[in-house]
Chains A and B, each alone.
Chain A
């Protein structure tokens, strides 16, 4: 048997003979590794994992300067006139899928013929789309299904090939199902059905322009595969050389130039945001791991103290320090690997909870959060690195004992040096826990505040749903009639107080804007026209949403296309833009003169945390929109009305899907999603940190008390009272804790400022949070010191003295 095998055998045996130590050490590591693995899995899925396609390293995204997307003619020219990169194009669009008498919205993707060949995706069955499907406009009514759609919505029907699907009222023939591992090339937004670019007019009948020929509308995301031997820079140069011909006009200097970037799973705008958030989250969970590792190091130091006689024997028998350190590190490695295994299991368990974090309303998001080889390697390497790093100090310390003294004594008191190391670990634990707990405290307080924020509109008794008749080819007049029918039917239901239509729902996340001028006030040359938030709303909108009008009126039946153009502004617009005198003032919008007929109270339109901003409302009768949300205010609990809404729309048009049906309360929860998720995650991390730090403090104090049994026995034999002994031990423990608290407070004070933009209604340096967390951590630490102190002080002095 080799020395290593013997080391391993002895390590396994030693760990199995001390199950308490092994359990605590593995649990600490597992918690630290678990949260790190879970977060790294997300980071891996979002930022690191290449697409499951052929040679993903050669894939690129192509951006048209700041506009990012391309028109069809621009894409076709680029694809045709160079030989550096094979290009493909796509655009995600919702599709109405009609099955029997029911319709539902699915995520569609319209792709150029080169899309699947460029990506190198394989079909699961049938075939994928190719160049032959992208030749004759309107001539290729074929579709490819995602494996997920086929299994979840078509029950994995084996005879699906050749069957017809009704999409947006048109018949498409299913020609294939994509490989199960392929979920599209954008993370989260998983296409369910792919149709060829040549079928644009059929797939998107609401578009009145011929998008296949229009240079003016840029709507295609372009990706490509570099030819062998061609680099990104070279491909970019080649594409930029074609800019003049591609764009028909010179690019505005502000729009930049064509850029070629490595393929990432996220759109560029989101990628940059996630590129900050996820590494920051990873840094937070690394703090948890550091706290866990401090625990393990302290446990190992305590164990090494208990084993110092064994170490001395090994040294006396000729074991070199290197051999002994290796023995200790073998144990650390075994612990680390056990921790990694348990941590991966915990991480996988935690990841199961991620889908429940995704809001129940909104688009169907899917994240492939499987743990691949990279995650397993990360967890194993991280645990080995931390396990060995934190095992090294105990190994080095315990392999240089005072051999003769140790060999001659049954036990000895802790040396001050080892005590110092253990206390330093506790200081670090308390300080790091303080940082995490303050962060989670701030988020929890912020969440509580956010719930109390008055959004300025009715949020209790209301049902919302979206209808998009444009996807079914409705024209302007039919559209208006349809919505009027829906509004009328909903309003006539018993228990419905009021019904209104609007293009945007408050707190939806997005924001429409428009530029404007105040009539009679020229915009100085060289400056841009001012912008304001915009919503297009129907009759009784303000009444339905319970938004008080401060002056004037809301839109009326008479505000028709032929009548004078009108608008309602919010209080901030009236105050900031018009100096408080808004009624009767005129604005110029899109070359039309619009009169302000009402001033409404401010509402939170974009997010709960936003400051009040100017907002302008236009009547739908004068500025129509195709996709509208119906707001139904009820006199009581709105939940029973959810089912009724589908019936109302079905009665009007059985093929129209009802999208994003929810109550306003559910919608409000969506707005709280960032705050809730932040509070939940940081709450979990903070709780872990608190638990680990408490066990760490308790462990050190319990061990110290055991080591000082003799001293305590002597003190008590000399007449010390229990409270004096307890006071002595607790005071020593709390000195260490207070040092950790002080360092933690300073760190938290500095780092909390980074969170200020994510908090609602409280400052990042909220004194209450800092005081409460200090009291919480200090109180728990006091308990962790008190329990072992009481136990030590209650032992019989003579037993303690004899134990030496």
Chain B
């Protein structure tokens, strides 16, 4: 098998308050290969969000190794993490997290601005991404003028616009009704078919089954790993 795109080895995360040590993650091993669609699920408090934060370089592990695209990224400075996050990772959130003051176009453009791409290239990529999610006709609208499903499609466009190595989706259907939820899942499956690597956190088994591989977390440990129904 090829070298994994993302490799976690003995990852630990301990939160320490004045009196208590909480082990959020303990000895997590995980490989995600390029083009894979992996779902992570588990009960509330099992460490899903902590794992996603570490995968997304929003937090650093207390111990262990984290290799992304062949580079050790477990202990980097804030600025280094921001740079890698911008280039390698695309986020899709449960509550969309679009910026209300920015138009759809500007929301999708934002990570490309942070990357320092020239205006012309940014524009082309934004238009391509919006086209991909079927939202190019709403480029000038504000998020408040869109439905929940439309907002999540814009969030997907924002995540893919930077052509990241991996998409991290955190309960992407959690704030949507079933119709819009299905539509977003179809969109993710479509992206996967086009070659995107996706790691999705969800507690909805219905959607978890769409992934190629499903990982179960419990008390900060990977307790089960199984093949899903979806195939590329």
Contact = CB atoms under 8 A, between A and B. Distances in A.
Contacts of B85: 316-318
B46 to A, nearest CB: 15
Given A1-B119, A410-B95, A320 B78 contact: yes
A724 interface: no
Interface in B90-123: 91, 93-95, 97-102, 106, 110-111, 113-116, 119
B232 interface: no
B82 interface: yes
A404 B106 CA distance: 23
Contacts of B79: 320-322
B58 A404 contact: yes
Contacts of A403: 53, 58-59
B58 A3 contact: no
B114 to A, nearest CB: 5
Contacts of B58: 315-316, 403-404
A135 interface: no
Interface string A280-315: 000000000000000000000000000001101111
A14 interface: yes
B94 A313 contact: no
B158 A408 contact: no
B36 interface: no
Nearest to B142: A17
Contacts of A6: 113
A317 B110 contact: yes
A313 B99 contact: yes
B114 A323 contact: yes
Given A3-B116, A317-B114, A404-B59, A10 B101 contact: yes
Interface string A727-743: 00000000000000000
B97 A316 contact: yes
Interface string B53-91: 100101100000000000000000011001101110101
Interface string B16-53: 00000000000000000000000000000000011011
Interface in A395-418: 403-404, 407-408, 410
A404 B54 CA distance: 10
B53 A404 contact: yes
Contacts of B113: 3, 6
Contacts of B50: 404
A451 interface: no
A99 interface: no
A316 B162 CA distance: 13
Contacts of B93: 313, 316, 407-408
Contacts of A323: 114
Contacts of B87: 318
B82 A318 contact: yes
Contact of A404 (B52, B100, B158): B52
B82 A408 contact: no
A323 B115 CA distance: 10
Contacts of B102: 10
A371 B10 CA distance: 68
Given A14-B101, A404-B53, A317 B94 contact: no
A478 interface: no
A303 B50 CA distance: 28
B101 A318 contact: no
B53 A13 contact: no
Contacts of A370: none
A275 interface: no
Contacts of B115: 318
Interface in B135-173: 158, 162, 170
Most buried by A among B98, B114, B116: B114
B12 to A, nearest CB: 17
Given A317-B86, A317-B111, A320-B79, A17 B91 contact: no
A318 B114 contact: yes
Nearest to B164: A318
Contacts of A316: 56, 58, 85, 91, 93, 97
A313 B111 CA distance: 10
Nearest to A409: B95
A322 B89 CA distance: 20
A323 B56 CA distance: 19
Nearest to A318: B86
Contacts of B49: 404, 408
14 contacts: A6-B113, A13-B101, A310-B100, A313-B98, A313-B99, A316-B56, A317-B86, A321-B78, A321-B82, A403-B53, A404-B52, A404-B58, A407-B97, A408-B94
State the 9 A-B residue pairs at the shortest beta-carbon distance, nearest first.
Answer: A318-B86, A320-B82, A317-B111, A404-B53, A313-B97, A318-B85, A319-B114, A403-B58, A316-B91
Interface of A: 1, 3, 6, 10, 13-14, 17, 309-310, 312-323, 403-404, 407-408, 410
